[in-house]
Amino acid sequence: MPALDPQEAKRRLHAPGEIACLDMREHGQYGEGHPFLAVPCPYSRLEALVGALVPRRDVPVVLIDEGDGVAERAATRLAAMGYGRIDWIDGGAPAWAAAGYTLFKGVNLPSKTLGELVEEHWHVPAIGPDILDSWLEQGRPLQLFDGRSAGEYTKMTIPGSRSFPNGEVAHRWDALSPGEAPVVINCAGRTRSIIGAAGLALMQPGAVVLALENGTQGWALSGRALAYSSAAGPLPQIDRAASRLRADAFMRTHAIARIDRVAAEGLAEDPGRTTYLLDTRDPAEHAATPHAAAVSAPGGQLIQATDHWIGVRRARVILADDTGLRAALAAFWLRQLGYETYVLPDIESWPADWRLPVGEPPPDFVAPPAISAGEAFARAQAGDLLLDLRGSLAYRAGHLPGAAWSIRPRLPAVAGRRVLLAGDETATALASRDLAEGGATSVHGVTGDASEWRAAGLGLDSSPDAPADADAIDHLFFVHDRHDGNLDAARRYLAWELGLVAQLDADERGEYRLDALDLRTACNGLTS
Round to whole Å and give the CA distance between 423 and 315: 34
Three-state SS letters, 350-376: CCCCCCCCCCCCCCCCCCCCEECHHHH
Across the strands, what pairs with 418? 442
Other beta carbons within 10 Å of 491: 16
- Per-residue DSSP letters for 224-236? PPPB-S---PPPP
Half-sphere exposure of 473 (CA within 13 A, CB side): 20
pLDDT digits (tens, 9 = 90+) for 118-164: 999 999 999 999 999 999 999 999 999 999 999 999 999 999 999 99
Return per-residue pLDDT of the chain as tens, 528 residues: 679 999 999 999 999 999 999 999 999 999 999 999 999 999 999 999 999 999 999 999 999 999 999 999 999 999 999 999 999 999 999 999 999 999 999 999 999 999 999 999 999 999 999 999 999 999 999 999 999 999 999 999 999 999 999 999 999 999 987 778 999 999 999 999 999 999 999 999 889 999 999 999 999 999 999 999 999 999 999 999 999 999 999 999 999 999 999 999 999 999 999 999 999 999 999 999 877 789 999 999 999 999 999 999 999 999 999 999 999 999 999 999 999 999 999 999 998 888 888 777 777 788 999 999 999 999 999 999 999 999 999 999 999 999 999 999 999 999 999 999 999 999 999 999 999 999 999 999 999 999 999 999 999 999 999 999 999 999 999 999 999 999 999 999 999 999 999 999 999 999 999 999 888 765 444 444
What is the set of domains in the chain, with CATH numbers? Answer: 3-105 (3.40.250.10), 112-233+515-522 (3.40.250.10), 242-349 (3.40.250.10), 370-455 (3.40.250.10)
Which residues fall within 8 angstroms of residue 287, CB to CB, at 6 or more apart? 296
Are the CB atoms for 458 and 10 separated by under 8 Å?
Answer: no
Round to whole Å and give the CA distance between 220 and 213: 12
> N- to C-terminal Cα distance for the chain?
56
Are the CB atoms for 501 and 118 separated by under 8 Å?
Answer: no
pLDDT digits (tens, 9 = 90+) for 395-433: 999 999 999 999 999 999 999 999 999 999 999 999 999
Strands 20-23 and 39-40: parallel
Round to whole Å and give the CA distance between 415 and 169: 58
Are the CB atoms for 401 and 459 separated by under 8 Å?
Answer: yes
What per-residue confidence (pLDDT) applies to 290? 78
What per-residue confidence (pLDDT) applies to 111? 97
Round to whole Å and give the CA distance between 454 and 522: 58
Half-sphere exposure of 392 (CA within 13 A, CB side): 21
Helix axes 191-203, 325-336, angle to 10 degrees: 120
Other beta carbons within 10 Å of 292: 10
Q: Which of 407, 413, 362, 357 is CA-nearest to residue 385? A: 413
Which residues fall within 8 angstroms of residue 192, CB to CB, at 6 or more apart? 115, 147, 148, 166, 185, 215, 300, 304
Are the CB atoms for 211 and 194 separated by under 8 Å?
Answer: yes
Q: Which of 94, 124, 18, 23 is CA-nearest to residue 64? A: 23
Length in residues, the chain: 528
Half-sphere exposure of 130 (CA within 13 A, CB side): 2
Other beta carbons within 10 Å of 374: 16
Round to whole Å and give the CA distance between 496 and 241: 42
Whole-prediction pTM: 0.95
Are the CB atoms for 315 and 21 separated by under 8 Å?
Answer: no
pLDDT digits (tens, 9 = 90+) for 158-217: 999 999 999 999 999 999 877 789 999 999 999 999 999 999 999 998 899 999 999 999
